[in-house]
Amino acid sequence: MSKHHRHSALATLPSVAEVVAAAHPGVPLHCLRPHTFRANARRFTSRFPGDVLYAVKCNPEPAVLRALWAGGIRHFDAASAGEVRLVRRLFPKAAIHFMHPVKSREAIREAFALGVRDFALDSADELDKILEETASPHDLGLMVRLAPPRGGAVYDLSGKFGAPLAEAAALLRLGRAAAPRVGLCFHVGSQCLEPAAYGRALALAGRIIAEAGVPIDVMDVGGGFPVSYPEEVPPPLDDYLSVIAEGVARLGLPAQCRLWSEPGRALVAPGQSVVVQVLARRDNAETDSARPSALYINDGVYGALSDAGTALGWRFPVRLIPADGRTPMAALRPFEFFGPTCDSADRMRGPFQLPADVTEGDWIEIGQLGAYGSALRTAFNGFDQAAWSEVRDPPLLATPGYLAKGSRAA
């Protein structure tokens, strides 16, 4: 199978079932839904009242980046020189912002040479680094990352980056004196289920601006916008956008101040699934029938299923594609998955609800893997083979606020 089918018209794309029937994939099959990436990008950019920076680390696959571009994304949040190079190669006119608060001097220099002008920071040392390596140009933007109060996000990011109130205010003043554009940014944590978290972070931004006593040119509310997972339906996108609108209004920012966001997961999670094959099924003895049966599959936590591993233990939507074309049993039962590597940590407890007759050779399509799925794959233990196809199927799960045109509200 070629790495990407080059079709783009939806009707000409095969369905997942058709690709599986034709190819009998023995390695994980990554199924890209270009229409879903496009629709999510269009939905977010048309609703968000400012610039939408796609967080490249979430899924840097060129086909994904092109579909987001087609959906109206023109700004990119890059966090490494490699991401800057990738985006610049694909989109010579894209606006790239370097939003990692701790960068190597080399990365700053290379990004600057490739047209990046906005750089994040959360310390005075990093401010010096940026000013030294960019020779204080007339169009530099300095974005001070603040540490938002914890809470509301399934995946917390507050432990690693962000300046506390007094330091953020001091950095804002220093930045104001050094560059023509300054801003505040934060990240409330990924898969943030609580819209109010953005309100609390914006209130903290207000205290920092007051303490600094200088105007800002950019207020960046970061990423963290959630999608649906089994038994986890987040509040609709509009709830987040109203909290942000209210929080920003309270700041009384200058009229020319830009609002930015940096969504990753919300734009790309639903657009990619992975079809895995069952290598073995092991049922537990009658005495231990409360334990889920185990399916040994050909992808795992060192592949695209990192977030399903024991550290986070996330559940993902699943769909059985029987190998022999039979109609699967209606009765579902819980299964746990083991990945293909020899590591006993390569285990995904789920539970994943599948037809009770799932057996060796069957395929399972696992959805919502467009975010932090293929981006986290490794070659550990030799399991780095994968097949790719673009498909016309809708996502396995709908997220409130992103329903495809014409589909009914869930």
Ligand X SMILES: *Cc1c(COP(=O)(O)O)cnc(C)c1O
Q: How far apart are CB 392 and ligand X at their closest, in Å?
A: 25
Contact flags string 254-283 toward ligand X, x per CB under 6 A: --------xxxxx-----------------
The stretch near ligand X (CB under 6 A) out of 53-61, 88-96, 129-137, 171-179 is 53-61
Q: How far apart are CB 268 and ligand X at their closest, in Å?
A: 8
Separation of alpha carbons 126 and 144, rounded Å = 10
Separation of alpha carbons 129 and 15, rounded Å = 50
| The token pair that represents 310 in the structure block | 């024991």
Helix (H/G/I), strand (E/B), else coil: 360: coil
DSSP string, 154-221: EE--TTTS-B-HHHHHHHHHHHHHH-SEEEEE----EEE--THHHHHHHHHHHHHHHHHT---SEEE-
Enter the DSSP assignment of 404: P
Considering only residues 353 to 392 of the shown chain, the ones binding ligand X according to CB under 6 A are 371
Cα three-residue angle 341-343-348, rounded to 5 degrees: 80
Choice from 28, 71, 76, 77 touching ligand X (CB under 6 A)? 77
Q: Is 123 in contact with 172 (CB distance < 8 Å)?
A: no
Q: How far apart are CB 330 and ligand X at their closest, in Å?
A: 36
Cross-strand pairs, 276: 364
Q: How far apart are CB 53 and ligand X at their closest, in Å?
A: 8
Q: How far apart are CB 319 and ligand X at their closest, in Å?
A: 24
Contact flags string 161-200 toward ligand X, x per CB under 6 A: --------------------------x--x----------
Enter the DSSP assignment of 309: S
Q: At what angle do helices 62-70 and 34-47 cross, to 10 degrees?
A: 50
Cα three-residue angle 347-350-355, rounded to 5 degrees: 110
Q: How far apart are CB 161 and ligand X at their closest, in Å?
A: 8
Cross-strand pairs, 76: 54, 96
Choice from 71, 162, 175, 223 touching ligand X (CB under 6 A)? 223
Considering only residues 224 to 243 of the shown chain, the ones binding ligand X according to CB under 6 A are 224-225
Contacts with ligand X: how many residues (CB under 6 A)? 17
Q: How far apart are CB 267 and ligand X at their closest, in Å?
A: 8
Residue 76 CA neighbour count, 13 Å, CB half: 32
Considering only residues 89 to 108 of the shown chain, the ones binding ligand X according to CB under 6 A are 99
315 touching ligand X, by CB under 6 A: no
Lookup result for tokens 């509200």: 409
The stretch near ligand X (CB under 6 A) out of 41-49, 172-180, 216-224, 345-353 is 216-224
Closer by beta carbon to ligand X, 276 or else 397: 397
Closer by beta carbon to ligand X, 20 or else 87: 87
The stretch near ligand X (CB under 6 A) out of 18-26, 89-97, 202-210, 223-231 is 223-231
Residues forming the site for ligand X (CB under 6 A): 55, 57-58, 77, 99, 187, 190, 222-225, 262-266, 371
